[in-house]
């Protein structure tokens, strides 16, 4: 391959890794190229923080390891992190004013694991505040000094949202600003923005990746995962991200890191794809239904079979999630009180007043709404009626998946009922936002792995993603399915105009 640096951002992450290893390009040249791209497309507003000196120093260390023959699996590959992961060399805000200017004394485990394989950090990516949202409209980016547009626009159609909460993680990949990024998924925040921006993203089984250093939203649901252009790229990133973290996160599974690429090349003959009819009701828009159906037909051509299954409690996932997630958030966010982290109100009369003013100024509306809902459902007299009931239904939802997996190997359906909506269309209506999460919440509540694969385009030229959900620990199989699909199609190769 003749390699001019102009092509670098068009390479898939796995291709770029090979070029670096074979020294067709240096890590420094690569880092400079992507930093220049960041400048060129500053108007997208994807970054909340960059530090070029740090990025270049990391790249130069990567070049030394390549020269010394000690390259890691991602040596010299530039990536960017959702601003939910704490980083010692970059500011971490979680998209919130309350963490304005906050610097962590340590790196999140996921960040450290990727760095240990040689990944170079380009910067921190804009997201909905504390990962609460599905449109990037809940980010406090403007208040944090970001001069770009708010929200970050969808590069396929800039009048539309990019999805969320990992919105900028998806935009950075779609706009070729980074070959891969990290995201977090509590109720769909990797899968939905990946779907809306036409990139590939996977949320592994709950507990695969350590949550240490991931600013907590809802601890029983939060999970890290990668986004990139292809399933093959995601497999490489995910293999580096996962693994036990015994002294730091007791919910990180005691399972050694796996090579998630190991099944990629296996054909799909005989694979049974469960198609839950609850995911194909009248709420699904025609363009999404069409693209998803065509993708299922393509899987049949590849040798897979469709099997009708049922996930009867799908609709209940919304009220269950919007009780459990705020309940956990109300507890997790109590640590932001103006004492230990970030923002503190300038004027106050006593300690209680300092707490109150700091939190009033520091949190945005959606975060406050969730703290109130969460406090309410956990309070004496309502705990049994809401929180306990929600926990019981959560278990039933997980059991429903196990029933379905008796008949199939993976489950497929849309990621979201529609393509990305217009900026502002749902911003005054939190419930409209919540309803759009219907298809991603079930796998989150069950702790199952799920991914989004680009399968076409719908209204407004906006991408459509297919969701693949697997049983616990079946990430390698999901990635195999997606990879085989990507060998036969080219949706993942299309790019938005101007990038």
- Among the residue ranges 68-76, 132-140, 147-155, 276-284, the one whose residues contact ligand GLN (CB under 6 A): 132-140
Q: Which of 26, 82, 261, 444 is catalytic?
A: 82
> In this chain, which residue has its C-beta nearest to ligand GLN?
189
User: What does the alpha-carbon distance between residue 293 and residue 282 come to, in Å, rounded to a whole number?
Assistant: 14
Encoded one letter per residue, x for contact with ligand GLN by CB under 6 A and - for no contact, window 320-349 reads -----x------------------------
Q: How many residues bind ligand GLN (CB under 6 A)?
A: 13
SS3 62: helix
82 is catalytic: yes
Which CB sits closer to ligand GLN, 264 or 397?
397
Structure tokens at 470: 């697997």
Q: CB of residue 499 vs ligand GLN: minimum separation in angstroms?
A: 26
139 is catalytic: no
Which segments of 404-478 are extended strands (E)?
410-414, 450-457, 463-470
Q: CB of residue 237 vs ligand GLN: minimum separation in angstroms?
A: 18
- Contacting residue, 131, 412, 423, 478, with ligand GLN by CB under 6 A: 131
Q: CB of residue 192 vs ligand GLN: minimum separation in angstroms?
A: 7
Which CB sits closer to ligand GLN, 135 or 484?
135
- Contacting residue, 133, 179, 207, 456, with ligand GLN by CB under 6 A: 133
Q: CB of residue 169 vs ligand GLN: minimum separation in angstroms?
A: 11
Q: CB of residue 400 vs ligand GLN: minimum separation in angstroms?
A: 20
According to CB under 6 A, which residues from 403 to 462 bind ligand GLN?
A: 437
Asked if 76 touches ligand GLN (CB under 6 A), the answer is no
First CA to last CA distance, the chain: 22
For the stretch 429-440, what's the b/e string if a residue is b when 16 or more beta carbons lie within 10 angstroms of its beta carbon? ebeebbebbbbb
422 is catalytic: no
Q: CB of residue 130 vs ligand GLN: minimum separation in angstroms?
A: 8
Q: Which of 96, 139, 165, 195 is catalytic?
A: 165
Asked if 201 touches ligand GLN (CB under 6 A), the answer is no
Which CB sits closer to ligand GLN, 50 or 203?
203
Cβ 28 vs Cβ 56: under 8 Å: yes
Encoded one letter per residue, x for contact with ligand GLN by CB under 6 A and - for no contact, window 174-193 reads -----------xxxxx----
Which CB sits closer to ligand GLN, 121 or 223?
223
Cβ 200 vs Cβ 451: under 8 Å: yes
Peptide bond into 165 cis (omega under 30): yes
Peptide bond into 408 cis (omega under 30): no
SS3 453: strand
Q: CB of residue 63 vs ligand GLN: minimum separation in angstroms?
A: 36
The residue length of the chain stands at: 499
Which CB sits closer to ligand GLN, 224 or 325?
325
Cβ 43 vs Cβ 25: under 8 Å: no
- Phi then psi for residue 16, to 5 deg, are -65, -40
User: What does the alpha-carbon distance between residue 305 and residue 396 come to, in Å, rounded to a whole number?
Assistant: 27
What does 113-155 look like in DSSP terms, one character per residue?
Answer: HHHHTT-EEEEEE--SGGG--SSSTT--TTTTT--S-SSPPBT
Q: Which of 104, 169, 189, 210 is catalytic?
A: 189
Which CB sits closer to ligand GLN, 278 or 437?
437
- Contacting residue, 134, 205, 477, 480, with ligand GLN by CB under 6 A: 134
Which CB sits closer to ligand GLN, 13 or 221?
221
User: What does the alpha-carbon distance between residue 235 and residue 260 come to, in Å, rounded to a whole number?
Assistant: 5
Encoded one letter per residue, x for contact with ligand GLN by CB under 6 A and - for no contact, window 213-232 reads ----x---------------
Structure tokens at 393: 């239904």
Q: CB of residue 188 vs ligand GLN: minimum separation in angstroms?
A: 5
For the stretch 202-231, what's the b/e string if a residue is b when 16 or more beta carbons lie within 10 angstroms of its beta carbon? bbbbbbbbbbbbbbbbbebbbbbbbbbbbb
Asked if 132 touches ligand GLN (CB under 6 A), the answer is yes
CA-based angle 98:101:102, to the nearest 5? Answer: 75
Binding site for ligand GLN (CB under 6 A): 131-134, 165, 185-189, 217, 325, 437
Question: Catalytic positions, please?
Answer: 82, 165, 189
């Amino acid at each position: 391959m003749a390699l001019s640096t102009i092509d670098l951002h068009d390479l898939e992450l796995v291709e770029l890794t090979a070029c670096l290893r074979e020294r067709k390009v240096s890590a420094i040249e690569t880092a400079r190229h992507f930093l220049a791209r960041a400048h060129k497309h500053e108007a997208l507003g994807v970054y909340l923080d960059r530090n070029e000196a740090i990025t270049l120093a990391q790249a130069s260390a990567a070049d030394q390891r390549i020269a010394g023959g000690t390259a890691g699996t991602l040596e010299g590959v530039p990536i960017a992190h959702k601003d939910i992961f704490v980083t010692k060399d970059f500011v971490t805000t979680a998209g919130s004013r309350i963490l304005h200017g906050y610097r962590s004394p340590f790196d999140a485990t996921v960040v450290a694991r990727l760095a240990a394989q040689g990944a170079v950090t380009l910067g921190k990516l804009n997201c909905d505040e504390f990962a609460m949202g599905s449109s990037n409209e809940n980010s406090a980016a403007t208040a944090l000094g970001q001069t770009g547009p708010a929200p970050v626009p969808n590069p396929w159609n800039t009048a539309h949202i990019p999805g969320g909460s990992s919105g900028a993680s998806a935009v950075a990949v779609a706009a070729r600003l980074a070959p891969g990024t990290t995201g977090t998924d509590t109720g769909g925040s990797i899968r939905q923005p990946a779907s809306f921006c036409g990139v590939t993203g996977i949320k592994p089984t709950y507990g695969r990746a350590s949550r240490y250093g991931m600013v907590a939203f809802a601890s029983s649901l939060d999970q890290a995962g990668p986004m990139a252009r292809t399933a093959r790229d995601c497999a490489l990133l995910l293999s580096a991200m996962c693994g036990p973290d015994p002294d730091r996160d007791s919910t990180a599974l005691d399972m050694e890191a796996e090579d998630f690429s190991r099944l990629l090349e296996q054909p799909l003959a005989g694979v049974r794809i469960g198609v839950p009819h609850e995911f194909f009701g009248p709420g699904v828009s025609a363009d999404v239904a069409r693209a998803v159906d065509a993708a299922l037909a393509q899987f049949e051509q590849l040798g897979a079979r469709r099997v009708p299954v049922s996930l009867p409690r799908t609709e209940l996932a919304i009220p269950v999630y919007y009780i459990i997630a705020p309940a956990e958030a109300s507890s997790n966010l109590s640590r932001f009180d103006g004492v230990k982290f970030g923002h503190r109100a300038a004027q106050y009369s006593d300690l209680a007043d300092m707490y109150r003013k700091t939190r009033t100024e520091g949190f945005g509306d959606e975060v406050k709404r969730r703290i109130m809902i969460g406090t309410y459902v956990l309070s004496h007299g309502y705990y049994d009626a809401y929180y306990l009931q929600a926990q019981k239904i959560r278990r039933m939802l997980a059991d429903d998946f196990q029933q379905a997996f008796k008949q199939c190997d993976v489950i497929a359906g849309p990621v979201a009922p529609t393509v990305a909506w217009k900026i502002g269309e749902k911003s005054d209506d939190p419930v409209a936002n919540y309803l759009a999460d219907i298809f991603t919440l079930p796998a989150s509540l069950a702790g199952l792995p799920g991914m989004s694969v680009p399968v076409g385009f719908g209204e407004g030229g906006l991408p459509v993603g297919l969701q693949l959900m697997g049983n616990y620990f079946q990430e390698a199989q999901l990635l195999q399915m997606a990879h085989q699909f990507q060998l036969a199609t080219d949706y993942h190769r299309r790019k938005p105009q101007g990038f």
